[in-house]
Amino acid sequence: MDTAVPHTDAVAPRPAARPPRGPRLPRRALHGVLLLDKPVGLSSNDALQRVKRLLRAEKAGHTGTLDPLASGLLPLCFGAATKFSQVSLDADKAYRATLRLGRTTTTGDGEGEVLEDRPVAVTRERVEAACGALTGDIDQVPPMHSALKHQGRALYDYARAGQVVERAARRVTIHRLDIVEWQAERLVLDVRCSKGTYVRTLAEDLGRALGCGAHLAGLRRTGSGPLSVDDAVTLQALEAMEEDQRVTWLRPADALVADWPAVPLPADEAGRFLTGLRRKVALADTPAVRVYGPLPTGAPGAVFLGSAHVHQGELIADRLLSPAEVQGLVESLS
């Protein structure tokens, strides 16, 4: 049998040319904090990158991971504000947590496989007592399904491979644990806690204390330090806005330290402060202050210069803005 490919003079049609892309819009130096109400299903970094593109921002970062399972407050920092993201990382957090009583899972949340189902036969008094026992300083063992690193790898990588890693307990503080709603297997709690608290572990510990088991069925971050999700914008709303309107959601670059004492400096002292020189001040020792200088135009108001602390009558710089960042803030105020 002849298996040769028959010759043809026909020319295969060329694929249609792609339409030319429009010019890429330039990035811009923005400075400030945007409070995002993150939706369920997005990682913190995915949410950050989408907002960064919407604002055409040059430099951006978030203030701590919020799992894809969770929704709620995610402060995003841009430009000069990224230097102070640690403040929000270290702040107390507030959550609205929904627990499914009577069921334990491999991951401690609704995405894992069911390990055991038990009947829920508890009274409100027992639930209140269990919440009270978990309030205050407690020790938590971080869950295997978490981003905590062990020998350079996230714990969830080991968990997916079926491996269990020994984890040391960590001391955290549960400031408040209030019952919002309770109907049969569904328990809704308001949680106010220190940084580093794993709410899914808290849910498992509560289920263990009640004798029926539990897992975290839903989580929404409602606050971080003085910031509230009530003041946040959703990603959907942000995408529907014109670009100029999106920028109006940016809070000042000093928003994360707005509750620190403010120290104003005259022009000559402000310049020296920005070089890192210590300044004599008539102030008591203070662990953290925010420092301002006058606007170079002579207009009323002040420009944020950075953070410092006061020790034995000296103002000692901690995080300083660069000249370009200070100029950017001046331009945004003019």
- Catalytic residue set: 67
Question: Which DSSP string do the residues of 97-146 spell out, in sequence order?
Answer: EEEEETEEESSSBTTSPEEEE------HHHHHHHHHHTSEEEEEPPPSSS
Nearest CA-CA partner of 65 in 102, 38, 84: 38
Nearest CA-CA partner of 68 in 172, 146, 164: 146
Do 221 and 117 contact (CB within 8 A), yes or no?
no
Do 162 and 153 contact (CB within 8 A), yes or no?
no
Name residues whose C-beta falls within 8 Å of residue 128's C-beta, 6 or more positions apart in sequence. 179
Q: Distance between CA atoms of 324 and 334, rounded to whole angstroms?
A: 15
Q: Distance between CA atoms of 203 and 193, rounded to whole angstroms?
A: 13
Do 31 and 80 contact (CB within 8 A), yes or no?
yes
Phi and psi at residue 200, to the nearest 5°: -65, -35
Q: Distance between CA atoms of 185 and 112, rounded to whole angstroms?
A: 18
Place of tokens 């003079």: 9
CA distances from 325 to 277, 289, 303 (A): 19, 19, 10
Q: Distance between CA atoms of 152 and 278, rounded to whole angstroms?
A: 39
Name residue 90's amino acid.
Answer: D
Question: How many other β-carbons are positioned within 10 Å of the β-carbon of residue 42?
Answer: 19
Q: What secondary structure letter does DSSP report for 260? A: S
